[in-house]
Structure 1
Amino acid sequence: MELQQFSLKGKTALVTGSSRGIGRSILLGLARLGANVVVHGVRAGEAAESVLAEAKALGVEAQFVAGDLSAPQGGKACAEAVLAAVRQVDIVVLNASIQVKKAWLEQTPEDIEGQLRTNFIASLEMLQVLVPPMKENGWGRILTVGSVQQKKPHPMMLPYAASKCAQESMVRSLAVDLAPHGITVNNLAPGVILTDRNTDALADPDYLELVKSKIPAGYCGESDDCAGVAQLLCSDAGRYITGQDIYADGGMSL
């Protein structure tokens, strides 16, 4: 039985960094609710083609837009390309990010700038382009994807954690400004999720056990554990939720 308040039929959703991992799961989760989707990645390839095919198999429209969010004004350029392709974006999920795992004393200016630009600056640039049409339409959903590192920063990823904190601050500011226009703005903060980003580190059984010992639930999450939260926050089922920082982390942030 379809729950009408979760339906996204007639809506278009952009999910950045959606050819793999958490972004892919969120995009397909929104497609299952009926949303037409825009897959984003730095470049086209087999991963993007795979998620496009899977989305189309769900009976929705799907297309790919490339964009390098680490480039100067990359967020603006990507958002403009999306609007040129689909004209209207109702849902924006800002998932794309990069992380450089180094001691803070070893982080180069290029490392720091790349993480801040991709993880925060590009998000703000994209919203400057995509939000005005949402305001005119009187409906919109913005979901940023943060990290448990907002509360428990990894000692080898200081700039990454700081960029996620900046993004969450942006969420709280925009939520107040955009609520009168029917637009909700929230942050989803995953914990340790079994994606290809973590494959190498978690392949070490001793390290895996150490990580799981810090998670009250006792296990690492899957990408799909983030999709249900996104379905709530991006639909009318979550219309009264805004400005919130919601953790999908098995309790790791506690």
Structure 2
Amino acid sequence: MADSLFDIEGRLALVTGSSRGLGHALAKGLAERGARVVLHGRDADKLAEVARVMQAVTSGEIGYVAFDVTDAAAVKAGLDEVVAAHGLPDILVNNAGLQRRAPLAEFEAADWDAVIATNLSSAFYMASTLARRMSERGSGKIVNIGSVQSKLARETIAPYAASKGGVAMLTCGMAADLARYGIQVNCISPGYFQTDMNTQLWQDDEFNAWIEKRTPAARWGRIEELVGTLVYLCSDASSFVSGQNIFVDGGMTSVV
């Protein structure tokens, strides 16, 4: 009985930004636990290859769809394609993300717009579009990917912090609107993980030393350490959990 609470076998999960990095690891983690997974990105050829490789090592169905999550019309068309080909997703993971670094006074307006569109607006477009159909069905799981920057700022990434703070509050707003329809909306906020987006950070010896000192666990996170929290939020074990922002950060946000 306990194991069945966390059973996601056969459920259909759409993970945005899942052709590489964190999104790919999350999608693979769901697939390895029996979920049917639809990968997402903007490069159809790359997605086809990633899906082929993932299909070879997992038993669940692996599909893919290519569209721009920052374009509301493209999101609607892309989701129509997913539903037609695979059915209505049981799980949506809003993972697509972008980072641009510069001191605030030097940050270009175009870069601000790109960060907000990719990290925040896309989550709204995806969730609001799918929620209409999930509400009719009476069930759904939406997991937004935040960051420790949902809570903590750091120099040169003010727009990123603003976008992830927005994701955290958007999660609360979504939960307020959608819980009555059997849809749970939650947020996972990773700490510092060795991902493609963070390459220039984890290759910096000085920054590595800062991470080890600043994080109670005294290390970077391993991407697979996010999968358990995701599976929990996608399963029946979290049927009365909504609007929460779960930090998976080795204790970073709990200390000064």
Range class of TM-score, shorter chain: over 0.9
CA contact (8 A) 2:47 2:64 kept: no
1:192 match: 192
Query: Are residue 205 (structure 1) and residue 223 (structure 2) matched?
Result: no
**One-letter amino acid matched to 1:176:** A
2:67 match: 67
Distance in 2 between residues matched to 1:48 and 1:219, nearest whole Å: 34
Query: Are residue 42 (structure 1) and residue 42 (structure 2) matched?
Result: yes
1:113-150 deviation digits (Å, cap 9, x = unpaired): 11111111111111222112211221110000000011
1:187 alignment partner, SS class: strand
Distance in 2 between residues matched to 1:216 and 1:157, nearest whole Å: 23
Distance in 1 between residues matched to 2:194 and 2:48, nearest whole Å: 19
Query: Are residue 153 (structure 1) and residue 183 (structure 2) matched?
Result: no
**One-letter amino acid matched to 2:27:** L
Query: Are residue 139 (structure 1) and residue 139 (structure 2) matched?
Result: yes
Q: Offset of 1:46 from its aligned partner?
A: 4.6
2:192 alignment partner, SS class: coil
Q: Offset of 1:205 from its aligned partner?
A: 1.7
CA RMSD of aligned residues (A): 1.9
Identity among equivalent pairs (%):
37
Q: Offset of 1:81 from its aligned partner?
A: 3.2
CA contact (8 A) 1:73 1:125 kept: no
2:156 alignment partner, SS class: coil
- Structure 1 unaligned spans of 5+: none
1:182 match: 182
1:79 match: 79
Q: Offset of 1:45 from its aligned partner?
A: 4.2
2:118 match: 118
2:196 alignment partner, SS class: coil
CA contact (8 A) 2:144 2:187 kept: yes
Q: Which moved further from structure 2: 11-20 or 22-31?
A: 22-31
CA contact (8 A) 1:150 1:161 kept: yes
The verdict on how the C-alpha distance between 1:213 and 1:129 changes in structure 2, with shifts beyond 3 A counting, is: same
2:92 match: 92
2:251 match: 251
1:142 alignment partner, SS class: strand
1:223 match: 223
Q: Which moved further from structure 2: 107-116 or 50-59?
A: 50-59
Q: Offset of 1:82 from its aligned partner?
A: 2.4
2:102 match: 102
- Structure 2 unaligned spans of 5+: none
1:192-213 deviation digits (Å, cap 9, x = unpaired): 0011222222212222111221
CA contact (8 A) 1:78 1:126 kept: no
Larger helix fraction of residues: 2
Q: Offset of 1:31 from its aligned partner?
A: 1.3
